Amino acid sequence: MASRGCILAVFAIFFISRVLCSHRAPVAPMTPYLMLCQPHMRCGDKFYDPLQHCCYDDAVVPLARTQRCGKCTFRVCFEQCCPWTFMVKLINQNCDSAPTSDDRLCRN
């Protein structure tokens, strides 16, 4: 049978976690450990905060990270380079799809 102190400790942990989650604990902790209510995603074997980073090429990168595509620069978290046409498209668009008004042609 579980001791009374153990049951009390489990109850206290549950209560504290409920209080933290109901008051939206800070998203960006000051330590490398994840906080209980922090939104997080997984990139390979690492966790990251999707409000500050994204997963690009199996690496956690800042949302502001850019890369070259022909003569253009694109934001790797939001756009993609279609290398055979040197066109920048939104991340969820297929490179083989017809050009849209959001696309940028980046030939040299």
Cα separation, 27 vs 97, in Å, equals: 37
Cα separation, 104 vs 90, in Å, equals: 10
Which token pair is 86? 């040197």
Cα separation, 89 vs 105, in Å, equals: 9
The amino acid at residue 94 is N
Q: Express each pLDDT in 34-48 by its tens digit.
A: 555 666 789 988 989
Mean predicted confidence (pLDDT) in 14-29: 50
Overall pTM > 0.85: no
pLDDT range class, residue 2, cuts 50, 70, 90: low
Mean predicted confidence (pLDDT) in 27-34: 51
Q: Is 21:37 a contact under the CB 8 Å cutoff?
A: yes
Per-residue pLDDT, 22: 47
Q: Express each pLDDT in 58-71 by its tens digit.
A: 999 999 999 999 99
Q: Which residue has the higher pLDDT, 13 or 61?
A: 61
End-to-end CA distance of the chain: 74
DSSP annotation of 84 reads T
pLDDT range class, residue 24, cuts 50, 70, 90: very low
Domain borders along the chain are: 41-105
Per-residue pLDDT, 79: 96
Per-residue pLDDT, 54: 95
